[in-house]
């Protein structure tokens, strides 16, 4: 079992106030500022819940895919993954789009795409985001 | 309706067991962080993980919803403090799954009593897009405490 905790503070109103992701369990990041304006308009260098979800999804997918490729006998030299999360205020998070390019010795494109589809279906963050209306994948070899 | 798009990038080298990755915030440039499978499952050793990133996402999503709900109730917050713990566990027959997200919120809000604060926290849970998403597959718990309230 793995628990991970993050601590966030907020001061003032939603529109004019601002928050800070003060710290996380691992100590890997923080403080990182957040604000409603930066979340919904120009990011101005500030992260947002949607960017953090994109980071979690891309990281989880990459691990799952590298594991699946290794189990298939073709461990990757390199995977380059992007996740793009779309948020529509009032509606919610509507999409996470994964793009992966892989350098995988001894594997053909069709097998890579199939492995990537499997990782998209089964990585724990994909499962946690199962109610997102659209999760897409664009996979190809480098 | 505005569509807001945020992107992150991962560069991964090697197998899951022995490899390592770097996750970066492509939209904002706010972070660039190494991660490994060992630090995801075991001791974090200073490295982040998908679950920690989700904990930060949920805490920062919930805190803005709570601030909005308190303002709507006529009791705007002065200060809010939100902790979020995401738990990943091995579920029989399903492998690793994110099973819960636990939110603990504390704060001060002018004119709010404990009941108002608790109500706002419930409404924030209903309104936070991340809470709405993750409830389909995991348990979300909210613990709200008004500080210095009546």
Residue of A nearest to B133 (CA): A131
Any domain includes B116: yes
Domain coverage including residue B100: 50-146
Min Cα–Cα distance to chain B from A102, Å: 9
Render pLDDT for B108-132 as a digit per residue (tens, 0 to 9). 998 999 999 999 999 999 999 999 9
| CA–CA distance, B103 with B141 (Å, rounded to integer) | 6
Render pLDDT for B41-84 as a digit per residue (tens, 0 to 9). 999 999 999 999 999 999 999 999 999 999 999 999 999 999 99
Is residue A8 predicted with pLDDT exceeding 70?
yes
In this structure, are B29 and B58 located in the same domain? no
Min Cα–Cα distance to chain B from A65, Å: 8
- Buried b or exposed e, range B16-45, using 16+ CB within 10 angstroms: beebbbebbbbbbebbebebbbebbeeebe
Is residue A17 predicted with pLDDT exceeding 90?
no
Is residue A25 predicted with pLDDT exceeding 80?
yes
Cβ–Cβ contact A3 with B under 8 A: yes
Given this model, what pLDDT does residue B1 score? 63
| CA–CA distance, A22 with B148 (Å, rounded to integer) | 22
Residue A9 with chain B: CB contacts under 8 Å = 63, 79-82
- The closest CB to that of A55, out of B23, B29, B63, belongs to B23
Residue A13 with chain B: CB contacts under 8 Å = 67, 71, 76-77
In this structure, are B63 and B120 located in the same domain? yes
Question: What domains lie within chain A, and their CATH numbers?
Answer: 6-40 (no CATH), 49-141 (3.30.300.20)
In this structure, are B63 and B95 located in the same domain? yes
In this structure, are B21 and B85 located in the same domain? no
Residue A86 with chain B: CB contacts under 8 Å = 3-5
In this structure, are B71 and B108 located in the same domain? yes
- Buried b or exposed e, range B96-112, using 16+ CB within 10 angstroms: bbbbbbbbbbbbbbeeb
In this structure, are B86 and B16 located in the same domain? no
Cβ–Cβ contact A118 with B under 8 A: no
> Could you tell me if B76 and A6 are in contact, meaning their C-beta atoms sit under 8 angstroms apart?
no
Any domain includes B138: yes
In this structure, are B27 and B77 located in the same domain? no
In this structure, are B30 and B71 located in the same domain? no
Is residue A2 predicted with pLDDT exceeding 90?
no
The complex's ipTM works out to 0.95
| CA–CA distance, B41 with B28 (Å, rounded to integer) | 28
If you write DSSP's letter for every residue of B38-88 in order, what string do you get?
A: HHHHS--TT---HHHHHHHHHHHHHHHHHHHHHHHTT--EEEEEEEEEEEE
| CA–CA distance, B36 with A28 (Å, rounded to integer) | 12
pTM here is: 0.96
- CA dihedral in degrees (B129, B130, B131, B134; nearest 10)? 130
| CA–CA distance, A81 with B37 (Å, rounded to integer) | 16
The CATH code of the domain that includes B120 is 3.30.300.20
**CB neighbour list of residue B18: distance below 8 Å, 6 or more residues apart:** none
Number of structural domains in chain B: 2
Cβ–Cβ contact A36 with B under 8 A: yes
Percentage of residues in chain B with pLDDT exceeding 90?
A: 90
């Amino acid at each position: 079992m793995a628990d991970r905790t993050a601590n966030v503070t907020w001061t003032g109103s939603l529109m004019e106030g601002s928050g800070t992701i003060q710290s996380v369990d691992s100590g890997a990041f923080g403080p990182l500022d957040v604000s409603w304006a930066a979340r919904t308009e120009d990011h101005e260098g500030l992260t947002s819940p949607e960017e953090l979800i994109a980071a979690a999804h891309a990281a989880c997918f990459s691990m799952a895919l590298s594991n699946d490729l290794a189990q298939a006998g073709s461990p990757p030299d390199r995977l380059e993954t992007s996740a793009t999360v779309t948020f529509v205020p009032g509606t919610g998070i509507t999409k996470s789009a994964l793009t992966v390019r892989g350098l995988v010795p001894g594997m053909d494109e069709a097998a890579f795409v199939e492995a990537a589809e499997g990782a998209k279906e089964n990585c724990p963050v994909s499962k946690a985001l199962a109610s997102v209306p659209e999760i897409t994948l664009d996979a190809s070899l480098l | 309706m505005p569509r807001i798009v945020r992107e992150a990038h991962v560069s991964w080298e090697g197998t899951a067991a022995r490899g390592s990755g770097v996750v970066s915030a492509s939209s904002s440039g706010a972070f660039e962080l190494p991660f490994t499978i060992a630090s995801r499952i075991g001791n974090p050793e200073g490295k982040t993980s998908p679950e920690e990133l989700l904990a930060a996402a949920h805490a920062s999503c919930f805190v803005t919803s709570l601030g909005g709900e308190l303002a709507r109730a006529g009791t705007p917050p002065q200060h809010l403090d939100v902790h979020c713990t995401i738990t990943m566990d091995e579920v029989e027959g399903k492998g690793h799954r994110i099973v819960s997200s636990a939110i603990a919120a504390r704060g001060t809000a002018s004119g709010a009593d404990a009941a108002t604060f608790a109500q706002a926290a419930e409404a924030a849970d209903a309104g936070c897009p991340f809470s709405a998403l993750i409830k389909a597959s995991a348990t979300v718990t909210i613990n709200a405490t008004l500080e210095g309230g009546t």
